[in-house]
């Protein structure tokens, strides 16, 4: 039974398989590779629609349609469709179930084992939510792979004998990731990874939609769901058409009035300059963490449909002082790379000589207290055991001692993040170890993260 790769995206999702001919995409029931990550209800308020049929109803029936829910993974927020509410996990499970059915129809066999791509900057809660969605859909996740790493696999597996350094910029609908990788002697190693889990093509679309609303004298905060979706659809269409032309004009009916949007490349770049600046920060962080400079990067690979924007491609060219590699389809690369990872997991014969390494995107550790003087302690301090950008797999241990006489318990809170203040990071859980009573500093606990 084959292990398949899935790109569960904010805007679109894809599924691919690795066979003797290499990675290839599998079509959905409509014969298309891209399945919109949209779920909706039909007019009967009971029949669930997934993919393109749901997306076609988004503007006219926003209260019965859900999109862009990937950004809510790992949060308790619910999305109401008709008479009931759904979590982002449940909605993602519906998309995965649709992909599973399409793959089984294309391959003629049952599909259970999958590798699913996630943004490199997804935290542990978001990654677990992705696994939960897969389980609901009847899938077993063999591995989660970071999206830029998957894109690098799709691009680099054909050139496994070359030695090179390359960067992957992955700007999808809802997230932005940067990874700097090196390829040598069949080993693909991630040197550094950074990103922004709340920056994506949807933010560029919203900036353009807000601009159109302002020009038309419409108060953005007073828009009803139908008007909001109509403006976002107008902006999305203009953004896509800008990739092929220097200036575009579009119109949409919003609240009973016609709104016209005319925008040029230069105007769009100026309008989205704050978003482009946000893209620079993870890039600079990756350079710092990897110890490499722009001059040492051999290739720049752009992934995600949002990288088709001229403003994004221009930013990449300026930062890296070279034109991005155009050989990789930005919409397909992540799914194909996930399929390559699936081939590695299932030990496919054609991939036996490829080794893939990755990094921890965040630091992992516990909260601690430290003696200041006498019996005074500084509490709520974050002590990382596995630091950000540690090569995986990894195992680290530290020893901690009691801080009070007759202390009977060692209570640890597990955190993920980079702040020195423990409570400012993301809490993953608690662990308690009971101790024999004794003087402060006598009893010790060895804490290991693997």
Q: How many residues does the chain have?
A: 450
- The angle that helices 201-215 and 225-242 make with each other, rounded to 10 degrees, is 110
CA–CA gap between residue 257 and residue 236 (Å, rounded): 19
Q: Single out the catalytic residue among 170, 196, 202, 383.
A: 170
Query: Choosing from 55, 70, 100, 239, which is the catalytic residue?
Result: 70
- Write down the catalytic residue from 102, 132, 147, 367: 147
CB 243 within 8 A of CB 221: no
**Whether 96 contacts 134, CB under 8 Å:** yes
* Residue 289: active-site member: no
Between CA 65 and CA 54 the distance in angstroms is: 7
**Helices 201-215 & 273-290, crossing angle to 10 degrees?**
160
Annotated active-site residue 70? The verdict is yes
Is residue 7 among the annotated active site residues?
A: yes
- Phi-psi label, residue 108: left if phi above 0, alpha if psi -120 to 50, beta otherwise: left
Distances (CA, A) of 132 to 15, 93, 137, 287: 18, 8, 9, 34
Tell me the C-alpha distance between 212 and 262, whole Å: 8
> How far apart, in whole angstroms, are the C-alpha atoms of residue 4 and residue 154?
14
Identify whether 393 is preceded by a cis peptide bond (ω within 30 of 0): yes
Write out the H or E segment, with its range, that includes residue 105. helix 88-107
- Of 148, 153, 111, the closest CA to residue 15 belongs to 111
Q: What is the distance between the alpha carbons of residues 427 and 360, in angstroms, rounded to a whole number?
A: 16
Task: Report the C-alpha dihedral over residues 10, 330, 5, 165, rounded to 10 degrees.
Answer: -120
Contacts of 229 (CB under 8 A, 6+ apart): 58, 59, 62
Active site residues: 7, 70, 147, 170
């Amino acid at each position: 039974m084959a292990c398949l790769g899935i790109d569960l995206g904010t805007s679109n999702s894809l599924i691919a398989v690795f066979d003797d001919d290499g990675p290839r995409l599998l079509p959905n029931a409509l014969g298309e590779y891209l399945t919109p990550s949209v779920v909706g209800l039909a007019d009967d308020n009971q029949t669930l629609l997934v993919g393109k049929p749901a997306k076609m109803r988004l503007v006219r029936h926003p209260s019965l349609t859900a999109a862009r829910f990937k950004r809510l993974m790992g949060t308790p927020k619910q999305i109401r469709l008709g008479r009931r509410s759904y979590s982002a996990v449940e909605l993602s499970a519906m998309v995965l179930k649709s992909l599973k059915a399409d793959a089984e129809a294309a391959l003629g066999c049952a599909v259970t084992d999958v590798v699913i791509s996630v943004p490199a900057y997804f935290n542990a809660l978001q990654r677990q939510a992705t696994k939960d969605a897969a389980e609901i859909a009847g899938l077993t996740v063999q591995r989660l792979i970071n999206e830029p790493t998957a894109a690098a696999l799709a691009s680099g597996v054909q050139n496994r004998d070359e030695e090179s350094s390359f960067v992957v910029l992955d700007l999808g609908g809802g997230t932005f990731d940067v990874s700097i990788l090196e390829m040598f002697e069949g080993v693909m190693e991630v040197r550094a990874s950074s990103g922004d889990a709340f920056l994506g093509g949807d933010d560029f679309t919203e900036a353009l939609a807000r601009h159109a609303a302002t020009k038309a004298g419409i108060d953005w905060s007073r828009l009803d769901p139908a008007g909001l979706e109509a403006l976002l659809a107008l902006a999305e269409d203009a953004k896509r058409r800008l990739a092929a032309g220097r200036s575009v004009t579009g119109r949409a009916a919003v609240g009973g009035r016609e709104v016209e949007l005319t925008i040029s490349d230069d105007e769009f770049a100026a309008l989205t300059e704050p978003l482009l600046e946000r893209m620079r920060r993870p890039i600079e962080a990756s350079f710092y963490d990897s110890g490499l400079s722009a001059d040492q990067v051999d290739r720049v690979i752009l992934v995600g449909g949002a990288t088709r924007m001229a403003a994004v491609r221009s930013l990449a060219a300026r930062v890296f002082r070279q034109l991005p590699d155009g050989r990789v389809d930005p919409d397909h690369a992540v799914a194909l790379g996930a399929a390559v990872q699936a081939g590695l997991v299932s030990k496919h014969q054609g991939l036996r000589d490829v080794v893939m390494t990755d990094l921890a995107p965040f630091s992992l550790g516990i909260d601690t207290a430290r003696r200041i003087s006498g019996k005074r302690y500084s509490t709520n301090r974050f002590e990382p055991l596995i630091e950000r950008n540690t090569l995986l797999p990894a195992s680290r241990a530290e020893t901690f001692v009691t801080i009070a006489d007759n202390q009977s318990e060692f209570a640890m809170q597990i955190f993920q993040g980079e702040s020195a203040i423990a409570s400012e990071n993301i809490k993953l859980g608690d662990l308690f170890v009971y101790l024999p009573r004794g003087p402060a500093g006598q009893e010790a606990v060895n804490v290991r993260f693997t």
